[in-house]
Amino acid sequence: MRETDRVIADIRRFNRFYTNLLGVLDKHVLATGYSFTEARVIIEIGMRETCIANELVQLLDIDRSYMSRIIAKLGKDGLISKEQSPSDSRTSLIRLTPKGVALYEQLDVKSDEQIIRLLRGLSPNEIQEIHAAIVMIHQKLSRAGEDVNYPPLRLTP
């Protein structure tokens, strides 16, 4: 197996491991009754307080029609409200209702608890190592995702 193939296989193995660990593929995330994508939409709206659907589409890289269905469902469930933007009558501002804020806060707390459970049993040093590795991965992949023309993946100098 070439080094590049081994790296790709290891990254894919980690991705499967971590998504399983977090339960991302479960039908309902963190016992809320909402899918991972629906929960992410709720969290993003909660973090912004007010937003428009196009912002969520770009941020989460979700198809517009799928986002529209999610927003309709969350509205029907009484979690979000939409109101016309005062600056552009063609745009609807989306925000969480009090029920939506309660779910957002529940997701936030349960997400923190999930990470605490993952780290339980590790030494403070091991937790710091994991944290440093995650920060480094995030920084490097964020930079790699920028519109820069990188050469093809090659691991040997």
Q: What is the mean pLDDT of residues 117-144?
A: 93
- Calculate mean pLDDT across residues 112-122: 93
pTM for the full predicted model = 0.81
**27 three-class SS:** coil
Please tell me the predicted confidence (pLDDT) of residue 63: 94
What pLDDT sits at residue 73?
97
CA distance 33 to 39: 9
Tokens of 108: 């936030």
Mean pLDDT over each residue of the chain, to the nearest integer: 88
CA 62 centroid distance within chain:
11
- Other C-beta atoms closer than 10 Å to the C-beta of 139 total 10
Does 156 have pLDDT greater than 60? no
pLDDT band at residue 86 using 50, 70 and 90 as cut-offs = confident
Contact by Cβ (8 Å): 97, 78: yes
Q: Does pLDDT of 146 surpass 90? A: no
